[in-house]
Amino acid sequence: MALSFANKQFPSATMLMAIRWYLAYKLSYRNIEELLAERGVQVDHATIHRWVLEYAPQLEVVFRCRKRAVSGSWKMDANINHD
């Protein structure tokens, strides 16, 4: 599944960066608005909110498809010294 950024006012890199900041860090939409403004991008916090609502579920699907399976086998080192 490919993300479609067709007919959007902002570049996809800017939108993905704002979405990542919101999902990865404990930032509000207004904080992200300020961070983008410092980089010369004028965008309203409500627009960032719409981006997160639209693209976060799609990104989750893409990331889950690319995620490798975790092995069911866990091994402990028997030579651990517990002083």
Q: Please check the confidence at residue 11 and state whether its pLDDT lies above 70.
A: yes
**Residue 48: which of 30, 60, 35 has the closest Cα?**
30
pLDDT band at 82 (very low <50, low <70, confident <90, very high): low
Domain-embedded: residue 61: yes
pLDDT band at 27 (very low <50, low <70, confident <90, very high): very high
State the DSSP H helix or E strand holding residue 23, giving kind and residue range, or none if neither: helix 12-24
- Other beta carbons less than 10 A from residue 32's beta carbon: 23
pLDDT at 64: 81
Domain-embedded: residue 21: yes
pLDDT at 49: 97
Determine the number of helices (DSSP H) and then strands (DSSP E) in the chain. Answer: 3, 0
Domain-embedded: residue 57: yes
Q: Domains in the chain: how many in total?
A: 1
Full domain range(s) for residue 25: 12-65
Dist. CA 32–CA 38, nearest whole Å = 10
pTM of the model: 0.73
∠ Cα 71 77 80 (to 5°): 150
Mean predicted lDDT score pLDDT of the chain: 86
Q: What is the mean pLDDT of residues 57-65?
A: 84
